[in-house]
Chains A and B, each alone.
Chain A
Amino acid sequence: MKEEEYQQMIKRCLRCSICKWIPQLQIKSQKYATICPSIDKYNYHAYSGGGRIILALALEMGRIKPSEEVRDVVYKCTECGGCAVSCKFLNTLEPLEIIMKLREKLVDAGYGPMPQQQRYIEAIEKVNNPYNEPHDKRFDWLPDDIKLDPHSKILYFVGCTSSYRRKEMARATARILSSAGVSFNILGENEYCCGSPVLRTGDVKKFQQFLNKNLDIIDSKEIDTILFSCAGCYDTFKVDYPLYRDYNFRVLHTVEFFDELIQKGTLKLTNEVPLTVTYHDPCHLGRNAERYEEWDGDVVELMPLISIDVPPKPKRTGAKGIYSTPRNILSKIPGLELVEMERIKEYSYCCGAGAGVKSAFPEFALHTAKTRIEEAEVTGASIVTSACPFCSTNLQDAIRESNSNLKFLDISEIILMSIGVVPEKLKKIMAEVT
């Protein structure tokens, strides 16, 4: 967000509190009416999207100074973008952009990121992943029987979380691609963190270093298409990278690619998967995965105080996120029943892990995930699924901590079951829930 736009926008919050709720027309029950995990936990107005806009104004006016108290409020936010979707139903403010800009300013002022986030940034610098795991272990997940094609123009960018923490997702993805006869490659030792955990904390300068490192490598390899099983990496490459540097490859989440394969007939969902499943929309695959669009129209002053954009400026409202694709896949799986939570699609409730919250405020992350698991339980589903390893981790932590009977399976694992590849672990889950 440009500074001029930021300075104008922070003066315009109406304090209507719409940012705390899912879009008013989508409210179906009292219990599941809210969108903002931060104010749901911390209750003070400052912890809402609008509250942070006011905080930004108070900072600019010198009413408050950068401090640990400011940092606490600004960083106790998963940058899920729920506030922005609700605000932009009628308004033109950008709460999420303002929060991201606020973090940049705190980093510049020496008050950000949070110490725990700083540690993982240092780990990324040192060993190319935020988990401080050895770089040479990044591809331990790769099964021996998966054949890679070094000349393929399709690259599977695995991402740090799938590589080190959610290996089952990486394996499932590789097996699906292999099963569908897709020749693909991975970057191997040349895969580094996409930079998303850094960007979300406001350290834009460092983020650009990682961005350039990644794009330099990819540009050297004549890649047409990059597949991501991590929504975070996907969003970062698709939406954030183009703001800093152009590239010439197609960016797809694996659900998009799998859907293409299913439609072509090269991926056949033939096996019954008799499970009742509810799908959690990851923020970075859904409402945040909309590209910024250029606008070269004209601003026409119709009268004093009212100017009109001709044509209207494109507004990122969450409408262009990937919602129907995973649902289409799930609905094509024989025997599978898809049931929906109340808060879905562009007004999905965040899993609680994003933007460094899992590291800096683990109790907040868990609190949010538990809320989400409770919402999933109400659907009657036995399985909650999603398409992001970070959502997977946090939701599974919540399942365990809540002693929930729910199981978590990534959508790739469910697809794997339907194409007839059922590793032991999945057989066990089937036995437990059916």
Chain B
Amino acid sequence: MVLEASILTEFENIVGPENVNDGEVITNVYAYNWCMEIFNYMEGKDPIPFSPTPKAVILPSSTEEVKKIVKLCNKFNIQFKVQSTGLGPWNQPSTDNSIILDLRRMNKIIKIDEKNLYAVIEPYVSGAQLQVELMKFGLNCHMPGAGPQVSPLASSTSMNGPGFTSPSTGHSSRNVLGVEWVLPDGEIMRLGSAGMKNNRDWFHGDGPGPSLRGIMRGWAGTKSGLGVFTKVAVKLFPYPCNTDYNIKGYSPDYDFEIPDFIRAYVMDCGNFKKLESSMLRIEEEEISFMCSYLSGFAVMAIFSYSIESLMDKMAIGQMKAPLVILIAARTSREFDYKQKVMDTLLRELKLKNIIGKLYTPKSIFYAEALRSNLGLHGFIATGGFQSTKGVCDTAAVCLQSTKLNVPLKQKYIAQGAIANDFGEGTWMTSYESGHFFHMEAPTMFDQTDENSVEGMAEYMEKANQLDLVKHLGAPFFVEGDQMHDLFGPFMLNYHNWLRKIKEAFDPNNISDSGFYISANYQKKRVDTKL
């Protein structure tokens, strides 16, 4: 479907003709995304990596331009889907009666307030870009697990937001302060202190009255289902160690001058019971920069740079319940303290650190840990992975889900649909020093193999059902009408509230609700094999 010439002209009048493109090449390229084939299969469509093709792609450069575009979309009843760095099927339009707003031109760091510890950013500032500017002040930000190349604004306003540094930097949803929000009707709202009439600033996202931050993103983000976020203030944290970040050598065999006062621990807890008690105990002391449970295979992967280089790390793979901790400090005194605490904990918990004994990581591991680049190692085995929807709950529930997932996953491993990680493939991280945890089951599949895609889709669906059958806590990644309808009835029908919010804020259904929720959802009969 194409845009009428007159409508195209109106968009061009806002952003300039070079920033609107309705050609088949540009629009088709935007229709592609990682894992789209899985979601297509789930909806009974051909398992291809393309979503519906947008009618046009528009590149605004300011909030004012976004506002005008959204108003035009309302006028002409065209849905819009917003993206910035654009990783993942959640960036894709759900209908071909849509345009994509690519916020790439909105890439400024508006403000760094090093005294009050927040930064205000636009959508196309990447995590790495923000981090390096913050390091000049001895500060850091929360970076999503998807990698330093993605947008902290997208993560904090619109997507989920776990990260490898979550023990110390939390979850994206909890790092949002003031927000500038173009509502689905084109009006502009600013949340918290950013919305004040006088002395406007960005330092907090709440205001008297109901906090709209919850409405704005809820738990899992609205993935473009509730308007466009054009600025966000995010919390900042002290950079965990010395900010000297010196990389030598050539890609990919970089050498990193490991800063003083950083240390890794990898310990095999042996079983989930001990893993749970260890994580809780360690997090209780509030010293870790990173604290994750990763399956044996996954720990091998974070220390490897290719599938071939995994093979000399079998010793790590033998671990049944590995716990990965990173501590870091800015002074020797702080470091001594944290090390003493860890030594005491290891004795108390009867755990042994293999780092420096059984295995010594390359220096680059520390560089990647500091820059939150470790999540991308998930791709080295098959070139593709996706996670099940996971659990966000106590450590016990997360591990229970992990355990119960094993035989289900092994069934699909036996079919050859997904790679054999013995069913254990999991990432579980602590948040805010153990206040809560999440787990997800990263699963390696081959996106070019139809059987693998189908098996992966089926496994993901069955994992959802398993969580319900076994009452395995609040789901972590929840998106789209079908999933909300599945989980809602078990969670006080929250989905009905989400629908009311959607209806109130987007009565014309202009903001693409494909990965959020529709106000009026008619369950479609979907022909799948699931």
**A–B contact (CB under 8 angstroms):** yes
With A and B bound together, what is the CA distance between A43 and B29 in angstroms? 13
B308 x A309 contact (CB < 8 A): yes
A11 x B132 contact (CB < 8 A): no
Q: Using a CB-CB cutoff of 8 Å, which residues 250-309 of chain A contact chain B?
A: 303-306, 308-309
Instruction: Select which of A14, A58, A312 is within 8 A of B308 by beta carbon.
Output: A312
B221 within 8 A of A: no
B452 x A305 contact (CB < 8 A): yes
A69 within 8 A of B: yes
Q: Please name the residue on chain B nearest to A16 by beta carbon.
A: B87
With A and B bound together, what is the CA distance between A54 and B50 in angstroms? 10
Instruction: Select which of A69, A90, A318 is within 8 A of B305 by beta carbon.
Output: A90
A46 x B149 contact (CB < 8 A): no
Q: Please name the residue on chain A nearest to B92 by beta carbon.
A: A15
With A and B bound together, what is the CA distance between A16 and B373 in angstroms? 12
Q: How far is the CB of B201 from chain A (nearest CB, A)?
A: 22
Given contacts A17-B87, A69-B25, contact A43 B307 (CB under 8 A): no
Residue-wise interface mask of A (60-71) relative to B, using a CB-CB cutoff of 8 A (1 in contact, 0 not): 010110010110
A24 within 8 A of B: yes
Instruction: Select which of A18, A55, A308 is within 8 A of B149 by beta carbon.
Output: A18
* Chain B contact patch, size range: 35 or more
A51 x B29 contact (CB < 8 A): yes
Residue numbers in B under 8 Å from A86 (CB-CB)? 251
A385 within 8 A of B: no
Most buried by B among A11, A30, A88, A89: A30
B445 within 8 A of A: yes
Given contacts A24-B371, A24-B373, A305-B418, contact A63 B28 (CB under 8 A): yes
Q: Please name the residue on chain B nearest to A12 by beta carbon.
A: B383
A317 within 8 A of B: yes
B125 within 8 A of A: yes
Q: How far is the CB of B110 from chain A (nearest CB, A)?
A: 12
Q: How far is the CB of B210 from chain A (nearest CB, A)?
A: 35
B57 within 8 A of A: yes
With A and B bound together, what is the CA distance between A303 and B418 in angstroms? 10
Residue numbers in B under 8 Å from A46 (CB-CB)? 25-26, 29-30
Q: Would you call the interface of chain A mostly helix, strand, loop, or mixed?
A: loop
B367 x A45 contact (CB < 8 A): no
Q: Would you call the interface of chain B mostly helix, strand, loop, or mixed?
A: loop
B486 within 8 A of A: no
Residue numbers in B under 8 Å from A13 (CB-CB)? 32, 34
A319 x B102 contact (CB < 8 A): no
B132 x A43 contact (CB < 8 A): no
With A and B bound together, what is the CA distance between A309 and B311 in angstroms? 11
* Chain A contact patch, size range: 35 or more
Residue numbers in A under 8 Å from B249 (CB-CB)? 319
Given contacts A45-B86, A45-B102, A88-B252, contact A16 B147 (CB under 8 A): yes
Instruction: Select which of A43, A304, A308 is within 8 A of B105 by beta carbon.
Output: A43
Residue numbers in A under 8 Å from B86 (CB-CB)? 15, 17, 45
B380 x A58 contact (CB < 8 A): no
A43 x B33 contact (CB < 8 A): no
A90 x B34 contact (CB < 8 A): no
Q: Using a CB-CB cutoff of 8 Å, which residues 124-163 of chain A contact chain B?
A: none
With A and B bound together, what is the CA distance between A23 and B49 in angstroms? 26
A11 x B21 contact (CB < 8 A): no
B309 x A45 contact (CB < 8 A): no
Given contacts A44-B21, A45-B29, A304-B419, contact A21 B128 (CB under 8 A): yes
With A and B bound together, what is the CA distance between A85 and B253 in angstroms? 12
Most buried by B among A21, A91, A304, A305: A305
B25 x A89 contact (CB < 8 A): no
Q: Using a CB-CB cutoff of 8 Å, which residues 299-326 of chain B contact chain A?
A: 305-309, 311
A223 within 8 A of B: no
B251 x A24 contact (CB < 8 A): no
With A and B bound together, what is the CA distance between A144 and B152 in angstroms? 63
Q: Please name the residue on chain B nearest to A321 by beta carbon.
A: B250
Residue numbers in B under 8 Å from A413 (CB-CB)? none
A167 within 8 A of B: no
Residue numbers in A under 8 Å from B34 (CB-CB)? 13-16
Residue numbers in A under 8 Å from B24 (CB-CB)? 63-64, 67, 69
B23 within 8 A of A: yes
With A and B bound together, what is the CA distance between A170 and B311 in angstroms? 51
Residue numbers in A under 8 Å from B253 (CB-CB)? 319
A306 x B251 contact (CB < 8 A): no
Instruction: Select which of A18, A20, A30, A305 is within 8 A of B416 by beta carbon.
Output: A305
B420 x A43 contact (CB < 8 A): no
Residue numbers in A under 8 Å from B147 (CB-CB)? 16, 18, 24
Residue numbers in B under 8 Å from A51 (CB-CB)? 29
Q: How far is the CB of A235 from chain B (nearest CB, A)?
A: 17
B503 within 8 A of A: no
Q: Using a CB-CB cutoff of 8 Å, which residues 36-66 of chain B contact chain A?
A: 48-50, 57, 59
B377 within 8 A of A: yes
Instruction: Select which of A27, A89, A317, A346 is within 8 A of B129 by beta carbon.
Output: A27
B251 x A21 contact (CB < 8 A): no
A69 x B149 contact (CB < 8 A): no
Q: How far is the CB of B115 from chain A (nearest CB, A)?
A: 21
A21 x B126 contact (CB < 8 A): yes
With A and B bound together, what is the CA distance between A73 and B25 in angstroms? 8
A8 within 8 A of B: yes
B376 within 8 A of A: yes
With A and B bound together, what is the CA distance between A306 and B445 in angstroms? 9
B498 within 8 A of A: no
A209 within 8 A of B: no
Given contacts A28-B132, A30-B125, A305-B449, contact A312 B306 (CB under 8 A): yes
B148 within 8 A of A: yes
Residue numbers in A under 8 Å from B477 (CB-CB)? none
B339 within 8 A of A: no
Given contacts A45-B102, A345-B250, contact A17 B149 (CB under 8 A): yes
Instruction: Select which of B59, B87, B148 is within 8 A of A24 by beta carbon.
Output: B148
A8 x B448 contact (CB < 8 A): yes
B87 x A23 contact (CB < 8 A): no
With A and B bound together, what is the CA distance between A305 and B379 in angstroms? 13
> Sorted from nearest, which 10 A-B pairs have the closest CB atoms?
A319-B250, A304-B416, A46-B29, A312-B308, A30-B129, A11-B448, A54-B32, A69-B25, A27-B128, A58-B28
**Which B residues lie at the A interface, using CB under 8 A?**
19, 21, 23-26, 28-30, 32-34, 48-50, 57, 59, 85-88, 102, 104-105, 109, 125-126, 128-130, 132-133, 147-150, 245, 247, 249-254, 256, 305-309, 311, 364, 367-368, 371, 373, 376-377, 379-384, 416, 418-420, 444-449, 452
* Given A55-B28, A69-B23, A89-B305; 15 other pairs, CB 8 A cutoff: A12-B448, A14-B87, A25-B254, A26-B247, A30-B130, A43-B104, A44-B59, A45-B29, A58-B29, A89-B252, A90-B377, A92-B383, A303-B420, A311-B308, A346-B251
Write 29 A-B pairs (CB below 8 A) sorted by A numbering. Answer: A12-B448, A14-B34, A15-B33, A15-B88, A24-B371, A25-B368, A25-B371, A30-B125, A30-B132, A33-B129, A44-B26, A44-B29, A45-B86, A45-B102, A54-B29, A64-B24, A88-B251, A88-B252, A92-B306, A304-B416, A305-B382, A305-B418, A305-B444, A305-B452, A306-B307, A309-B308, A318-B250, A345-B250, A346-B250
